[in-house]
Structure formats: structure tokens, C-alpha cells
Structure 1
Amino acid sequence: MTSPARCFSPADMAPRRTRPNPPAQPAPAAAAAPGRQPEPAAAHPAEAYTPRTLTPAEALAPGRIGKRERFRNQFQHGLRRSCMHPHARLVALTLLGYANDKTGLLSPTYRPTVKQLADHTGLLPAQVQVQLQVLTQRGWLYSRPIAADPCAGTTGLCLAVPAGVLEQLRAARAKETAPRGEAPVSATPADEPDTPPTPGSARR
């Protein structure tokens, strides 16, 4: 027995509407590794620091400490990078304990004698004398007149960082503080020293 034929209604004869596909969602961004922050893009490209070209006499002259620099820190870092004998560095660090933190000046009132330096360092007085000469010849120690009271008119010893060593310290510092993958930043005008020293009074 056959089934009766199906009768189609007008709704069956009307064209069917297809359901629109939902809009594609953007792929989620990859999550950063835990504990690591994304590095911000640099606003301006870094400029490479180029140390100044100095003559041998200029390299041994007292360096000028900038406004953002501290004499004591630069002196200690410079001694570590120097190739001087350990006795010379020992005498220099001992003198630093008597010097002014900002200028390196050794006032005649508080300046240690050769015997006191020998007692502090464990060296012989003759060895201390030799190392004082080495420090003077290398530009780490020089003499200059004192204008401030109560020692006005006298000559005092002054510690210094040679200009050549100071340029090396600035270049190394710029390289260490530069962002990863960028060139070191050159010194700005704010890093320039306040007042130049008196190289004419330096002992050679």
C-alpha cells in the first residue's frame, strides 16, 4: 500500500534564508612569560658615547668631575681600573680617607705625614715616598694653592682622577646603563663639570 502524496504549502515553496555566519573573532595575543614585562619601545634612538681624544699630557691632567658625578666614587672606580702597583693604590685609598669628599683636597691641617701613612698601610716610609711620587706622575695627586681660610696662602695636596681614566669610566658607565640592544647614550650638557681645575698647579 502506497503512502498518499504530500501536498506542499506556500511556505515550503518560498526561498529559504541562510543564517549569516558570526563575525570572526581576533586571535588572542600570546601571553607574556610570567615575571617578564614587555620592553617599551625607545622614543629616540640612543647615541653612541665617544670618548674625547686626549694627548698624553691631557690624559694625565686632573679630570673635571661633572654635576652628576661624585668625586669619591669616580676615584675608587678609577683606581680599580688602573694598572698601578697595589702599594700605590693602597696609599691612594688611605689618602682618600683624609681628603674632601667633593674636591679631593688634603688640607695641611689634617694631611697625614709619611710616617702616619706608613703606619696605616704597613709599608716602610721609603716605600710610601716612592708611591707618592708614582701617584703624582700618573696624575692621581697634585698640589694647588689654598684660598679658603684658615689655610689661605698655603699649598695643599689634592687627589684627582686623570682625565684619560675619567673618559674611560664615562664610556663604561654609558655602556652599562644603555637599554639592551641599543647603543650607549652620550653625555649630556648636564654632565659637564661646574668649574675646571687648575692644571697649571699640577705637579709633574
Structure 2
Amino acid sequence: MPTPLDVARRALAPAPVDGTYRVRYIQGIRCSRMHPHTRLVALTLASYAGPNGTIADADQPGLLGLVEATGLTAGRVAVQLRALEGRGWIRPVRGARYEVAHLALALPQYRADQLRR
């Protein structure tokens, strides 16, 4: 099972063309050993995404939307978003601050040299 450090070292995978990106993302998050709050934020973001992992401009929840949807504090959601971004599970499409950033799902991918360890 990968550790958080393993996940953080992975490169972002290109989006599959078959429309299963969101499904793969959800499976990966559910199988991860991330903190429950991190998984909650990740799965909540996935509920806003389309099959290809993008979140439409009109559907971007923003920090306050994630606070409302998860029941976590704004500070806690921001910490979880930083963790997800650092581990390669989300990527900002526009904006640097989570209050206004537009996010997309991302799939970390093992490199062949990491699998042999």
C-alpha cells in the first residue's frame, strides 16, 4: 500500500479518454490512507466534477462551498486542499488562493522505478 510520501512523489497522469477519470479518482481516494478529513474534501470535490475530472466554472464550490458541503471549518478545508494538491490529487486551473481558485481532479501515477521498491 502506498504511503503519503509515495503519493506525493508521483507525477500527474494524463486524463483517460474513456471518461473514467472521476471514477478512478474516487477509487484512489477511497483506497488511500489519507486523513478522513482529507478524503472527505476530496470526495466532495469529486461530486462537483464531470467524468473527465474537470469542474465547470459554474460548479466550482470554492472554499466557502466546501465548508458548507463538508461541515469543516475554512481553515481545516484549506489544510486539506493543500494536502491534496501537494500529493497530486487536485490541481489549480486558475487562481492561487483557494477562496477563488478553480480546481480540477488529478490522478497521481506511479513511476516504474517506484513500483520496484
**Same structural fold, with TM-score higher than 0.5 when normalized by the shorter chain:** yes
**Unmatched 5+ stretches in structure 2:** 1-5, 95-100, 113-117
Q: Which has the higher helix share?
A: 2
C-alpha distance in 2 between matches for 1:137 and 1:97? 21
Supply the distance in 2 between the matched residues of 1:119 and 1:69 (Cα, whole angstroms): 28
Taking the aligned partners of 1:116 and 1:108, their CA distance within structure 2 comes to 13
For these two proteins, the number of residue pairs brought into alignment is: 101
- CA separation of 1:58/1:79 partners in 2, compared to 1, >3 Å: closer, same or farther? closer
AA at the equivalent of 2:45:
L
Partner of 1:112: 61
Give the Å deviation of 1:68.
Answer: 5.3
Percent pairwise identity = 36
In structure 1, the gaps of 5 or more residues are 1-55, 146-154, 168-204
Counterpart residue number, 1:80: 30
User: Residue 58 of structure 1 contacts residue 164 of structure 1 at CA under 8 Å; is this kept in 2?
Assistant: no
Matched, 1:127 2:73: no
RMSD: 2.7
Question: How many Å apart are 1:118 and its aligned residue?
Answer: 1.1
Q: One-letter code of the match for 1:80?
A: R
**Cα deviation digits, residues 128-166 of structure 1 (max 9, x gap):** 010000000000011236xxxxxxxxx83210110129x
* 1:17-32 map, 5 Å: none
Distance in structure 2 (CA, Å) of the matches to 1:58 and 1:67:
24
2-structure distance, mates of 1:75, 1:123: 22
Q: Which residue pairs with 2:3 in the alignment? A: none
For residue 59 of structure 2, give the secondary structure of its aligned residue in structure 1.
Answer: coil
Structure with greater proportional strand content: 2
Tell me which amino acid in the other structure corresponds to 2:30. R
Distance 1:125 1:137 in 2: 18
- 3-state SS of 1:83 partner: coil
Shift of 1:66: 3.8
Runs of 4+ in 1 over 3 A off after TM superposition: 56-59, 65-69
- The structural deviation recorded for 1:67 is 4.6
Give the Cα separation in 2 of the matches to 1:93 and 1:84: 12
Higher relative contact order (CA 8 A, sep 6+): 2
The residue type equivalent to 1:133 in the other structure is R
Residue identity opposite 2:92 in structure 1: S
**One-letter amino acid of the counterpart of residue 162, structure 1:** P
- 1:120 Cα shift? 1.1
Cα deviation, 1:101-138, whole Å, max 9, x if unaligned, reads 12x11233220121221111111111001000000000
- Structure-2 change in CA distance of 1:123 and 1:64 (3 Å): same
What SS does the aligned partner of 2:93 have?
strand
